[in-house]
Every structure is written in C-alpha cells, then in structure tokens.
Amino acid sequence: MVKRCWLFLTMFSFPLVTSDNQPNYPTSLPDFSLLLPKPGQGLELVSTEVGGKQHWYGRIFLNHTSVYEEKMAKMEVKTSLLDNMIGVGDMVLLEPLNEDSFINNLKKRFDHNEVYTYIGSVVISINPYRSLPIYTPEKVEEYRNRNFYELSPHIFALSDEAYRSLRDQDKDQCILITGESGAGKTEASKLVMSYVAAVCGKGAEVNQVKEQLLQSNPVLEAFGNAKTVRNDNSSRFGKYMDIEFDFKGDPLGGVISNYLLEKSRVVKQPRGERNFHIFYQILSGASEDFLCKLKLERDFSRYNYLGLDSAKVNGVDDAANFRTVRNAMQIVGFMDHETQSVFEVVAAVLKLGNIEFKPESRVNGLDESKIKDKNELKEICELTGIDQSVLERAFSFRTVEAKQEKVSTTLNVAQAYYARDALAKNLYSRLFSWLVTRINESIKAQTKVRKKVMGVLDIYGFEIFEDNSFEQFIINYCNEKLQQIFIELTLKEEQEEYIREGIEWTHIEYFNNAIICDLIENNQTGILAMLDEECLRPGTVTDDTFLEKLNQVCATHQHFESRMSKCSRFLNDTSLPHSCFRIQHYAGKVMYQVEGFVDKNNDLLYRDLSQAMWKASHSLIKALFPEGNPAKINLKRPPTAGSQFKASVATLMKNLQTKNPNYIRCIKPNDKKAAHIFNDALVCHQIRYLGLLENVRVRRAGYAFRQAYEPCLERYKMLCKQTWPHWRGPARDGVEVLFNELEIPEEEFSFGRSKIFIRNPRTLFKLEDLRKQRLEDLATLIEKIYRGWKCRTRFLLMKKSQIVIASWYRRYAQQKKYQKIKSSAIVVQSYIRGWKARKLLRELKHQKRCNEAATIIAAYWHGTQVRREYRKFFRANAGRKIYEFTLQRLMQKYFLEMKNKMPSLSPIDKNWPARPYLFLDSTHKELKRIFHLWRCKKYRDQFTDQQKLIYEEKLEASELFKDKKALYPASVGQPFQGAYLEISKNPKYKKLKDAVDEKIIIAEVVNKINRANGKATSRIFLLTKNNVLLADQKSGNIKSEVPLGDVTKVSMSSQNDGFFAVHLKEGSGAAGKGDFLLSSDHLIEMATKLYRTTLSQTKQKLNIEISDEFLVQFRQDKVCVKFIQGSQKNGNIPTCKRKNNRLLEVAVP
C-alpha cells in the first residue's frame, strides 16, 4: 500500500531510509545526473510498507516542462482538500470570518476557475457563464468512490457522497439546489443527474431508465422555462424529482413534482423577457406542413402573446431545440398522437391571444362584448374540436349558479379579455401538469420491490424585484420554509455527529425564521389565511380591502410593515407607498404591491369556459377540464392558489424531513451573464439572503474542523519522532501522542470515538505550517543522501569501467597478433599456389599449340580439296546463286528492320514504315493490310457484348447518316444510353412502368409538333421490341401505341436540327390521326435504334428518307414540311411555323 505524503511532479524514486531512520542506499539507479534538483526545485516523499517493514522513497520534482512531466502531471491526484489550496476550500476554516473575507475568498477562487467552495458538507456554486473542463468523464472517475474532503470542492463530490450513502448505507437522500434566477440551479441539477447516471450500473434496461430520466429535462425546460432579464433559460416552475434505485444502486425510475408554474407569463411578459420557450421553438423549428396543420404562421409578430423585443436570443437555436424536444418526447415514451395533441393545445393557447373584443350596447342599456374577427376563433375551434357558437357564447356571457337557480350575465370588454387570458393561463397550466403526469407514467418504477430514493429539488431562489407581486410573495414564502428546514437539519446533523462521537453538545444561538413563516402561513392570522378569507367573503372585495385587513391583524408584528398600519412607528416612512406592505424576510426586507393579489389568488375560470372546453372533441383538452362535465358539477369554490401552494410546500417539507439533506447554494457573479466578471455587491446580496455566513457560524459554533484519526495521523505523523515514520499502535493513541508532543492546548481539540475535533481554524493552519516546514527539511535530507549515493555510484561505475576497458584491450592486442601471423601464412601459401599454377599453365599452352597446328594443317588440306571440286560447278550456276543469295539477304534484312519499326496496336494509328526497295512494294502493302486487320481483331477481342452492341449501333448510324445528316458528327462522341428517364427507378412514372410490360429500348422526352399551329407539346417517346409509344409527360398516360410493323418510313432533313417524321402504314389502326412529326435532342440515336429494332422484328429494312422537304400525313390531309436557313430570336433553337394548310416551315439556324 503506497501513501503519498508530499505530492509534486515526480520523475523517479529510490529507497531513502528504513523504519530506524538509517540511510538505505540503492544498489543501482539510472544516470539522471542532468535531473539533479536546482534552486526552486524539490523532492517528494513516499512511504511503502512491504512485509511489515516501512520503506521511504524520495522523488525529485522539477520546474521545467518536459513530455514526461506532462504525463506525470496528468497522473497527479490531490490527496487532501488542504493541498495546493487556492484561498480556502472550506469556509468553515476561513479566518477571520466576516462578510468581506467571505466575499474575497469566493472572488479569489472564482478568478482561478475554482467555482465550487464548501461550507462543511454544503456546496457553494458560482455560475462561470462559460464552459469549464471540469465535467469530463475523467473527472467523473476521479471523484468516484472518493472521500468528500479528499479532493478539491466539486459538485461531483457531493453527488458521489449522496449516491454512496444511498447505495451503501440505505439512507434516502435529497439534494436541495437554491439560488436566484441565473445562478445555475438548472445546470446544477443536470450535473447531479448526469453524474449519478454515469456512476450507477449498466445494462440495457438500466440505460433505458437513465436515458428517460435525463431526457425528461429538455421537455420540461421547453414548456416550463423562459428567457428573463437575469437568465436566458430561467425555470419558471419549481421541480422536485425523486429518483428511485434498487438495492444494487441501479435506477428503477422516478417521480416528478412541479410547483407553481408562472402561468401569468403566458399572457404577459415584462419588457426584455420572453414567453415560454416552446412557443418560439414551434414557430422556428416546425416544418411548413406541420405549421399548416396547427394553423400557425412563422412570423412572431402575428401573435399578441409573444413579446417582440426579445423574440430572438443570442446563442439560442430555437429550431434545433425544437428537434431536441421532439426527440426527447419520443425517448420518454410519448406516442405520436399525444405529441400532436400537445402541440395543438400550445397552438390554441397562442391563437387565443389574437382574439379581440369590441363593445356593444344592448337594448336594456347593459354593455356586452363581441368578437371583432371570428377567423381566429374559427381556427381555434377547428384545432380543439369545439363548437364555435359554444365558445363564442362563453366569451360573451357568464352563468352563475346558486342552488337551483341559474343567472346569465353579459361580459363587458374588460371582463371578456379577463376570461380570454384566464382560459389561456389555465389551458397552459393544466397542459404542463398533464405533461408532468404523463412523464411520471413513463419513468415510474415498474417493480414493486422496496426502493431507495434520491430527491433533487430545483426551485426558485429568493426574489427581490423592483415590483414584487403575488408570485414573488409565494416564492419567498417557499424559500423561508426551505431556510427553516435547512437550519433545523444542519443543527440536527451537527448534534447527531457530536452525540455519535461522544462530544458534549452546547446550544448554538441562531436566528429562527419560524416567526416569519408563522406570519405567512398561520391558519388564523397568517397573510395567506387572510387573503383566502378576503377572496371567499361576500360583498365587494378588492386589493385595498385586503391591505386594510392586513393592517388590522398584522400591525403589531415586528416583521410586518405598512404605510397604512395603525402602528405610529411607520407613519413617517415615506419610502413605503400606500398600496404596498413590507415583510422582513431572513434575506432582507421585501416590499410587495398588493395590486393583483386577490385576482391571482382566486385564479377563477368561468364555469361557462370550463364546460365549453369539456365539450371539445379533442381528447386531451376534454381531459384537462373534468369540472366542465355537467353531470359532475360542483358549486363549491375551488381552492385558492395560495392554499394549494401552501399544501404543496407542506408536503414537500414533510418529504424532505424524511431524507438525508445535501445542499447546493448557487450564486450569480454578475447581472451581465458574462464570464470573468465578479460583482462584489451582487454576490454580497446573495450571500446575505442565502444565509451563508450564518451557516458557517452554525457549523463552526462548536468545532470548526473534524477528521478521522487514520488520515489525521497519516498527514501529520512526520511532526513527531514517536509517530515517524510509522506508528505501530491504534491511530487515536498516535494522534494523542502527536498533539501532546506539539503542545497544543487541550481546549483547542477534543477526541471523539472515531474523529479528532479541532475548535479553531488557526490550530489547523499551524499544523499545516509545521508540516510544510518538516517536509522541506525531509526534502533537504533526501537531496543530501541522493548526492552521496550519486558520487558513490559514479566511483563504482568508473572502477567497473576501468576493468572492462583493460579486458577489452588485452583481447584486442591478442587479436592483432593473431591477424599478423594469419596474414603471413596466407602470403606464403599464395606464392606457392601461384608457382604451381604457372607451371601447369605452361604445360597446357604447349599442348594447345600442338593441337592447333595439326588442326590448321588439316583445314588447309580440306580447303584445297573443296576448292578443286567447286571450280567444276562455279562456271554454270554462279549468277543465279548469287542473285538468290542476295535476295535472301535483302528479305532477311527487310523483315528484321520491320520487326523493330512496327507501329502501335491502336487501330487509328496510320503510321507505317517506309518501303526500302521498289521490288517489295506489293509485299509492303499486303503486310500493312494484314497487320491492320490483325490489330483490329485484337482490339475487338477486348470488347464486352454490351460494348459490341454499342459499336454496332454506332456503325449502323454511320452507314445511315454519315455525310447525309449535318447533325451526325455531333452524335459520334455521345454514347447511346437509351433509358434517359430511368422509368423503373422514378416513382413519378410508376403508372407508365406498370402499363408497359416489355423491355424498354429507349425512353426520351420529345416534342410533338401540332400541325395546326406548329407549336410543340412534350411527350414521352418509348421504343420497345414490338411497339412505339407516346405518353403524357405529366400524368404518364399512354396517348398512342404503334406496332413496329405499321411504321413504314422515317423522314428528316439534312440540316442540323432534331425534327423527324414517323410515317405509318395507311389503313392501320394507329394511322387514324396521321403520321407523327416529332423533335428530339437525340435524333440520331432514336432513328438508329428504331431502324435496328424494326429490322430485328419485321426482317425488313426501315426506309430512312433524308430530305429538306417531305410530306406528312395529318388525318386526311398531306402537309409539306420544309426546312430553311435563317437567324432565330431564340438563338440556336429551330422553330416551326404554319404558313398555310399545306405547308409547315422549319427555320434552322
């Protein structure tokens, strides 16, 4: 087991001392003389326990950079929160503790990209407004299964601690994420969920559950988040998710609870803010067909519910986000028809804002309202399946029921607009609740086994705006409850740890905000109770009457202030308007405008609108308004928004108290949403209302620092001779000996059962300073021993080298002597062998001369005999033989020269060697002809059957049109493709393909000339083995079908045009309408294929007539087609004009 005592960049290691502190030199080490420590460098100390004996190793660390250093740097892992600490990683250790030092410590860490800081087990997270490389898979593995204080502060450390406590100790956990808008709460919750997903088990089912849990976020963000002044992706609802795990720690599913959706944003947004994301995502990312189905247009300015000043957000791609949302809904488990229904409801909400009303006076003098333009109402009714007259009446009348009586009253314009906005808000709010319920159905655990639960709470932070209304009042009430449970659970956790460790518990003074919670939620005198009482009492109820009631009941409360209060101490406070009241929250004073409190708390939706919605044929809308069912009518008033939220908060608090809490406090560094900016005043404000300083004081009211005995002894044992280098007894005894040796006052620490408790941070920092000094002394010792070892090793190496050099020299001297003796022997041997060889050579030469002399004498004798015989015949045959011999030699020379001068094997190569002799003229020509035929055959042998067919067609075209048709030369280089339209592949021509069951030889678009006016109509020309077909280009219907046997002749001009006439046999069935006059860009190919196909099927050659004038039969008349030269307006395109009943004139450029 290796334990690091001082962590630096390491290069190599060597044994230093044993347990008795005696030097222990290694026997060998590589030569690292160039890496000796220099000023500014140092050593690392590492201990290893082998076989019960402690060994120490020193490692040099260097300041300069190398590849090896970079590799080792990646392997560096901090073993304590106190190592290389920037500022103070845990605020409990901050000294001195005040607001300025707290902010300065956060700023110092923020400037060094340290965005996380601890307060004990609480994580402070500062939004960096940029991406940091601290959330990689490598970081996840680094924090996995590590002690909370072992590494730098990080959100992964808290997530890992919560997950391991849930998995190993069977404790349900909850992670509470708080902070104001823009502080990064949503991103923090995503990081927690992604970490848990990364470290839990694997498998197909587990991965599916994890993916569904993660993909629920984009859906809820699209429908529940919006761009605000402070945050481009602000959550406008509170979310609490319970993630359920099995006994192994694998996720089984989850349950989501939502709190207080800010539905007023649907109908009105503050300046510089947007409506919910989903409206902009649909208009930006949906296809034109989808928008048409939803009866929407892409222009934002068409909708009154969308603010135009902030419709576009920099860095936000609404179109891409829409695709992400649709994909996430599919992964979570939404069916296609459910997704369609959801977007139809969103579209209906958007279009509701475009309904406008105009006033009308009735005969009885009462004012009523009418809808200005009913087109929007009609489209809404088509989307939702509601009868237009029913919805129109619901916007104009209100029915009030009391026992058995019904009273119908008209709505004026203001009331109609209120009804419209109330319907839009309720429709969207209920849709959002339905979405949460539907997601819960998909992600809930399928098994009924006992489950472990981890809750993640992402809810609004404390809000103090310029104008604070009912929404801010409710949000701040929730934060008061969270602060209350935070203090209670923190104190409870401290007390439990003290009791568990056997430390005496002393009472801690702190501000208890229960009095503020009671001011708001008391069932008799609480502000919410009085608001409900005002909403339910008969008579005229206004916001002013509500404020008067508050002034009567809460006037003497020390945390309530009002200008109209009877308490005289507030009469001179001119900063408080008459229509406002102020509450002293734990985070500071907040002034609330009472305007809108009663209406927002009532949250009334006229029963006529509920019944109209229930009558919709749209299944989702019908399900959203069950109270509209006349059979289940309920005359009781629905619960108010305040009472509903109060009950939800109570349920949430009860749920949180059953779990082990973990806190993440999010802080926004600036209002500009920019990186590298730290606004001290803004951060100070958030620190105050989050109660962070109070949290630190509670944490360190007893003992500021506590640590288990084993890591404490391991970290500080070098400070005492008795514990260094290895303590043999229990760790607690070692720590006690260590502290006594250091003479630390007894009142500064206490011994628990498993931990040492240190009261003052100064004591801890003193220990760190002593440890740092001791490590420097040990580093000096390591350097001294290393230098001694280096010199000794160098001497032994030189001694060993001298012995090696001497042995090598002796071997070299003996080798040189041996080589000299060997070379002398070789010289003597060579001389002897040379003498013997020369003697043998002389003998062989004498014998050869004797043999050559006998041969020459015999040759001369035989020559004399032959010449005597030859003279007898020479006189009669000499001339002829010389002639034949000469011819033979000339022919031989000719053929040898021809062999070396042969041209290439290309058939188009016309080169041929010159004739050397006149008498070889006929032979030379014949050889040229034979060679050309031979190389043509070689060239043809390379062709495939398809290429042979193409060249046969080209040859046929050459015979038919060469020197006859001006268009022919341009067609030579163009391959004959035949199927230009690809009818079999193009779905447009499926009908035409089904009608033709034969193989198509050519398929081309041609222009059919109308004999009446000379204009062209596009037709599809098809040639099969037995027929010629003309079909309509658009519909694919066959217009004409002519058997090949009925085609008698094809006529065309000799000029550079594509006109041709197909003449049909008189009396045939296809000749009823007369001949065809056509124009094509591939005339040569079409005429050639028609000629070859007709010849193949009918065994008769098709007559090809090439003339600048020819007759064409049109029904019963014959028309002359005449081709003339002339300049054209259309460039190089030939045109056809009707001159008279008997003449068509084609102008060819």
Residues with catalytic roles: 181-182, 186, 231, 234-235, 461, 463
Place of tokens 């009303």: 357
Beta bridge partners of 175: 456, 662
Contact 652, 257 (CB under 8 A): yes
Whole-number Å distance between alpha carbons of 137 and 685: 35
Q: Encoding tokens for residue 607?
A: 């029963």
DSSP label of 435: H
How far apart CA 483 and CA 690 sit, in angstroms, is 8
**What region does 414 belong to: left with phi over 0, alpha with psi -120 to 50, or beta?**
alpha
For 947-1013, the DSSP string reads: HHHHHHHHHHHHHHHTTT-TTHHHHHTS----BSS-TTT-GGGHHHHHH--SPEEEEEEEEEEPTTT
Report the C-alpha gap between 996 and 988 in whole angstroms.
Answer: 15
- Per-residue tokens: 847: 């014998």
**Whole-angstrom Cα distance, residue 388 to residue 97?**
68
CA distance 234 to 261: 12
The per-residue DSSP string of 275-286 comes to: SBHHHHHHHHHS
Cα 312 to Cα 330: distance, rounded to the nearest angstrom: 27
- The H-assigned helical ranges of 691-730 are 692-699, 709-716
Structure tokens at 874: 């020479």
> How many H helices and E strands in the chain?
31, 35
At 603 the three-state DSSP class reads coil
Rg of the chain over all Cα atoms, to the nearest angstrom = 51
Instruction: Name every residue whose Cβ is closer than 8 Å to that of residue 39 and which is 6 or more positions away in sequence.
Output: none
Vertex 1015 angle, CA 1010 and 1016, to 5°: 80
Q: Which helix (H) or strand (E) holds 888?
A: helix 761-900
Euclidean distance between CA atoms 745 and 740, whole angstroms: 9
* Nearest residue to 699 via CA among 487, 512, 504, 500: 487
Q: How far is CA 734 from CA 18, 724, 836, in A?
A: 19, 10, 99
How many angstroms from the chain centroid is the CA of residue 792?
60
At 674, list the tokens: 């920019």
CA nearest 509: which of 748, 691, 694? 694
Instruction: Report the run of H or E that residue 590 belongs to, with start and end.
Output: strand 588-593
Query: Per the omega criterion (within 30 degrees of 0), is the bond before 725 cis?
Result: yes
